Chain A
Amino acid sequence: MADKLDLNRVSMPKQKPRARTKNFNEVALGYSDANALAEANRCIQCKKRSCVEGCPVGVDIPEFIAAVREGNMPEAVKILKSKNALPGICGRVCPQETQCEQVCALGKKGAPIAIGRLERYVADWELKHQPDSTPEIAPATGRRVAVVGSGPAGLTVAADLAKRGHKVTILEALHIAGGVLMYGIPEFRMPKDIVQVEVDYVKSLGVEVKLDSVIGKISTVDELLEEGYDAVFLGTGAGLPMFLNIPGENLNGIYSANEFLTRTNLMKAYLFPEYDTPIKIGRKIAVIGGGNVAMDAARCALRLGFSEVNIVYRRSREELPARREEVENAEEEGVVFKLLTNPVRFLGNEQGWVTSMECIEMELGEPDESGRRRPIPKKGSEFTIDFDIVVVALGTTPNPLVPTTTKELETTKKGTVVADEETGKTSKPGVWAGGDVVTGSATVISAMGAAKRAAASMDAYLREL
């Protein structure tokens, strides 16, 4: 697949592996003008437009590519932003290979158009040239909307509703807007300045962002509705870390991926002591898990200065849930994959620090309900490896702060909020939800897609009030 992807598309310049593990700068450098033009010229502007259908937010892909080809960049920006308020973010972190690019007509014979790279190129061009891209804003409706959470879903719903003339306030628990884009995804994949430019764009549409506002504590959703908000959107994400629940997990030196990434990215611990938040830098680290978050944690660890970085995953390479591109990036940089390996317990010293991890070898059995082959422990295969830091990256579930303080809001056993897939409507009148809080941890773009659908449904509701 990877070979095919790069067959005849214009590749994107990247920092060399050895150099990039010494800094937190962006790895992928973006297309030059010539790169972009050459890639845009490969688009055959087919009539089928399957790429548009493959895009969760329905960006008019052939049109924006045509604009790039014609050198009409302000038009390309306009087309892109009419459907997607966050192109600089999506161009970087969308899994295009399973969405728009997967269904590209060119993909049948060669490599599909590099839509993601072109999207990023357009967003970067906008950032550099600052054309006037303020969209038309509908006349004020007098309706007020509270959006809880300023991640990809919250920003999208806020932008869409503001454009339709509603007065939107985003309530964010942390001290900066952006959600997982700020605390989770590292600088070298998603520069924080770019996130803030896109947050500023959403603000420029008239959206108010209130920071330090922990909903469920400072106000409940019921209070927001009583205080005069006509509708509420819950985009609170999946912020609660899962642990292994094995002996020794509370030893010093064992982090949740959320903590490791939050310290590194949101709090800029990689710039400690210039920034006040520290992170423990050791020699040998194990990152447990095989998703994108595990890859992010492992690659952060390399950049922080760990000399041996290991991914420990209980299934085989085939089942790694991370994007292939992220696995390749991690490998190129020197991350070691210990596959078919599962931790059993952690061992520590007298001071309470982790020193090693006992693991067991696994083999793959029959497929389980997820469709992946079930990992089964091999009896008697236990072994111990020394580590001074461990990061547990098993996934996250929704934070219960909002669901448990909201009356009549239906949730599942997994703690996710029940919402209609097409409209985002929850069991509670006037309340919509979308993104990870509904699906459990998924992608930025799927959250944005859900937010767009919710915005349409909320708009219709608000107009009928």
Chain B
Amino acid sequence: MYQIVNREDLTPEIHLFEIAAPEVAKKAQAGQFIIIRADEKGERIPLTIADWNTEKGTVTVVFMEVGKTTRKLATLKAGESVANFAGPLGLPTHIDKFGTVVCVAGGFAIATIVPIARAMKAAGNKVISIMGFRTKDLVFWEKQLRNVSDELIVTTDDGSYGLKGVVTIPLKDMLEGKEKIDRVIAIGPTVMMKFSSLTTKPFGVKTIVSLNPIMVDGTGMCGVCRVSVGDVTKFTCVDGPDFDGHQVNWDELMARQRIYLDEEKRSLELWQHSCGRR
């Protein structure tokens, strides 16, 4: 069992767990993920590592309530525990001195991009970050991302805060601008990563995305997370989760993310019914 040392609600549906897992904390690097299982009947789901503290022996993950598992996790309070927590898995994000790096994040992936932006800055890059949200009320970790960036742009779909529109608008402006962009890291919902990659492609700027397909074991055993990158099938759990966004077959990935839509709906409805939730 792994104790939740601290819990924060970043928005009504996005939660942060700081979990006691000293051995994982010792090895964690930006861009890696863990597999979490809420309880003995639970499924194994991957969550990207948002932060870690080797002294405290804790690892921080951030998740959004979507289906039964994430909603079940959201019912856990600080002091309670999850059944399993395995990691750090996957390859860390490639950090190097590239020059100017643009970090683009949408929704709950803001938490994932913070350690990457931090590492990029520590490696001597100029870091420009773009964070996108649906609306002002959902904005979180603005300060955290600002602290590790040279510049920060916030967008909201409805214009209630920062620039109006989606993250690809300022991204495109930047690519068309005078400053040379050497690398883009885009993390967020699949559709956002797809359009960020499409935006950068004509400019030939290397764009790294962090994919979030369905996983079971997370160690290369089952192959459900396979994704076509160029002409090659890769396993996201061991070969990724970072890939060249210009090479990813996005439509295939999005289809594969929908495999269990019906089952997930059924499972969630039954659970909500059984515990009288919304």
Contacts and interface: CB of A to CB of B under 8 A. Distances in A.
Interface of A: 173-175, 183, 211-214, 217-219, 239-241, 243, 245, 249-253, 255-256, 258-259, 262-263, 267-268, 272-278, 280, 351-353, 399-401
Interface string B59-98: 0000000001100000000000001111111000000000
A400 B263 CA distance: 33
Given A218-B24, A250-B228, A275-B41, A352 B219 contact: no
Contacts of A243: 223, 233
B275 interface: no
B149 to A, nearest CB: 29
B27 interface: yes
A190 to B, nearest CB: 18
A276 B223 contact: no
Interface string B235-266: 00010000000000001100110111001101
B196 to A, nearest CB: 22
Given A262-B221, A352-B251, A274 B41 contact: yes
B216 A277 contact: yes
Contacts of B86: 173-175, 212-214
17 contacts: A173-B217, A174-B217, A175-B44, A211-B84, A212-B85, A218-B24, A218-B88, A241-B223, A243-B223, A250-B256, A258-B223, A273-B263, A274-B41, A276-B43, A278-B267, A352-B255, A352-B256
A41 to B, nearest CB: 45
A139 B257 CA distance: 55
Interface residues of B, number: 43
Contacts of A175: 37, 44, 83-84, 86
Given A217-B88, A241-B221, A276 B41 contact: yes
B222 interface: yes
Nearest to B216: A262
B23 interface: yes
In the A-B complex, list the 6 residue pairs whose CB atoms are closest, starting with the nearest: A352-B255, A278-B263, A259-B222, A212-B86, A276-B43, A277-B43
B82 to A, nearest CB: 11
A212 B238 CA distance: 16
A262 B217 contact: yes
Contacts of B138: none
Contacts of A217: 27, 87-89
B150 to A, nearest CB: 32
A243 B222 CA distance: 11
Nearest to A276: B43
Contacts of B263: 272-273, 278, 280
A239 to B, nearest CB: 4
B217 to A, nearest CB: 7
Interface string B22-46: 0110010000000001000111100
A352 B266 CA distance: 21
B238 A401 contact: yes
Contacts of B267: 272-273, 276, 278
A211 B44 CA distance: 14
Interface in B203-247: 216-217, 219-224, 226-228, 233, 238
Nearest to B45: A276
A112 B190 CA distance: 60
B272 to A, nearest CB: 12
